[in-house]
Amino acid sequence: MLNLPFVLSVIPFVVFLLLLLWKKMPLLKVSLLTLILTAALAFFYWKIIPVLLLVSSAKGFFIALDIFIIILGAIFFLEILKDLKVIDSITYYLESFSKDYRIQVIILAWFFENFLEGTAGFGTAAVIIAPLLIALGLSPIKTIIISLLGNSTSVAFGAAGTPIRVGFAGLDYPSIPQLSAWINCIGFIVPIFMLLTLVADKTDKRKQFWEALPFAIWAGIAFVIPSALTVFLGQEFPSILGSVIGLLLVLLTTKLGIFVPKNIIPAHEAKELKPALSPFKTLFPYSLLIILLIFGKILLGTISFSIPLDISHKFNLFNPGFAFILAGIPVALLWSATKYKIALQSVKIAFKSALEPLFVIASVSIVVQLMINSGQNLSGLPSSIALIAKNFETTLLPLWTPFISAFGCFITGSATVSNLMFGNFLNFASQAINMNSAKILALALVGGAAGNMIALADMLAAEAVVGLKNQERAVLKGVIIPCLIYLILTGIIGMLII
């Protein structure tokens, strides 16, 4: 016989899934309706202390505000670089290092995409890379699959660490970044799957694959190891510095002829690209951004505040969004002919693009806070999050955790939102069975990164960019096996380390 409190605890998640997948409602509308339902259950069934409705709402909003600043700054920075043709210039310089299309694709879809994910996140990486892969002569379907494969490993620390910073807000485990970075080394396999996809329709596909396999393996290792070694600087840096250091290593070995295919196969259909900017102007914005991020992390701390009704919050003065803005403004003013026009236009686009994620994450954050605080009630019931966690109290929790987070990414398109939805009950479940909660959350983070390959929102955005519609089944067929392998290996690592 089903337990009514448990059924009502999971109802918001069931409604969320039905509205999103069956009714195909926009994520914003689904999030708001789920919030209304959760608040009604908390008030009428759990009989939550009324003031906690306000406390939960304020806490959820402050969490979302933090990410709003990050998204706002990241998009502002990205728009300025697009207007100044910085990204086009980077593509030209990257392609000049090798004429082999297999190397070109992996450099763009692995290193450049990882860097974009590390700085901007939220699906921007795949959308920017897809047109560049089309320019190399790839088919639209193949382009989307490879772009989605690339938008995975770096997601664990994407948007300057947002999946941890915001996704696990309130779960203060300092060891999560370190643990995640080393577990996430399994991501070295991703360029191998890119290569398999790239040569799948070639008549000599086996030869092309085996020739370039050493480069694919080396490219994977060159990113994940520096990522793990630089995590001590903070969760903001592994994806950014890992891609920069890895790219430099790979460019060096490529110039020396190490790990490169013996037979060079050019991208015959590639369009001729010309650099819009000098190497200095191309690299300066990113160099400035990295410097600002490092100094901001070292010099700035946190401030705590409280207001009446027992509402308190800890703000981190180091918000990567400010670094993006401070890096973008001088670049626009120094090198743009229209200067203020570009800066103003970029601000407008950034605000417009950041508003919807703000409301989505605020809604989901408030839902989570209500579920946590529902234990403080007049009904005598445990909190709804504790009731859900009870059903995950199993020795197989480390194996299932990556799959739970991947599912969250699949339906929401965001590792941050997935962590907000599932992080707390995974934390409750691990504590109840005396498992290391930091390790469980680290597995969730890596699982979410792998699950980003199959994120519906990213899939649809990439389809729009390359001019395709209703090809989700074909795309999913190309990414599901790599995703499952990534998740299975992560789950096995979880069983071994816990």
CB of 448 closer than 8 Å to CB of 393:
no
Read off the pLDDT band of 305 (50, 70, 90). low
pLDDT, greater one: 364 or 156: 156
Dump pLDDT digits (tens) for 70-118. 778 877 887 888 788 887 787 677 667 788 889 999 998 999 889 888 8
DSSP state of 96: T
- In this predicted structure, the answer to whether residue 311 has a pLDDT above a threshold of 80 is no
| Residue 378, helix vs strand vs coil | coil
Q: How far apart are CA 57 and CA 67, in angstroms?
A: 16
Tokens of 213: 């396999």
| Entry pTM | 0.78
User: Quick one: average pLDDT of 340-349?
Assistant: 80
* pLDDT, position 336: 66
pLDDT at 2 over 70: no
Contact 191, 110 (CB under 8 A): yes
- pLDDT average, residue stretch 185-194: 96
pLDDT at 467: 72
Q: Terminus-to-terminus CA distance in the chain, angstroms?
A: 33
DSSP state of 237: S
User: Which among 411, 405, 375 has a CA at the least distance from the CA of 390?
Assistant: 375
Structure tokens at 421: 């939805």
Helix (H) or strand (E) holding 304: strand 302-307
pLDDT of residue 79: 82
Q: Could you give the count of Cα atoms lying within 13 Å of 82 in the half-sphere of its Cβ? A: 16
Q: Which is nearest to 227 in space by CA: 276, 289, 182?
A: 182
pLDDT score, position 301: 60
Task: Give 19-28's long-range contacts (Cβ < 8 A, gap of 24+).
Answer: 20/411, 20/412, 21/411, 27/360, 27/412, 27/413, 27/457, 28/356, 28/359, 28/360, 28/363
In the predicted model, is pLDDT for residue 59 greater than 60?
A: yes
Mean of the per-residue pLDDT values for the chain?
84
> Which tens digits make up the pLDDT trace of 268-292?
554 555 666 788 888 888 888 878 8
For 404, the 3-state DSSP assignment is helix
Residue 323 has pLDDT above 90, yes or no: no
Looking up tokens 């995703």 gives 483
Q: Residue 179, exposed/middle/buried by CB under 10 A (0-12, 13-18, 19+)?
A: buried
- The yes-or-no verdict on residue 149 having pLDDT over 90 is yes
pLDDT per residue as tens digits for the range 213-232 = 999 999 999 999 999 999 99
pLDDT in tens, 441-494: 999 999 999 999 988 777 777 776 677 776 777 888 899 999 999 999 999 999
| pLDDT score of 12 more than 70 | yes
Backbone angles phi, psi at 307, to 5 degrees: -130, 165
The answer to whether residues 200 and 110 touch, using CB atoms and an 8 Å cutoff, is no
- Structure-block tokens of residue 105: 């694709």
User: Phi/psi at 234 (nearest 5 deg)?
Assistant: 135, 165
User: Which among 140, 129, 152, 39 has a CA at the least distance from the CA of 78?
Assistant: 129
In this structure, are residues 167 and 424 in contact, taking their beta carbons and an 8 Å threshold? Answer: no
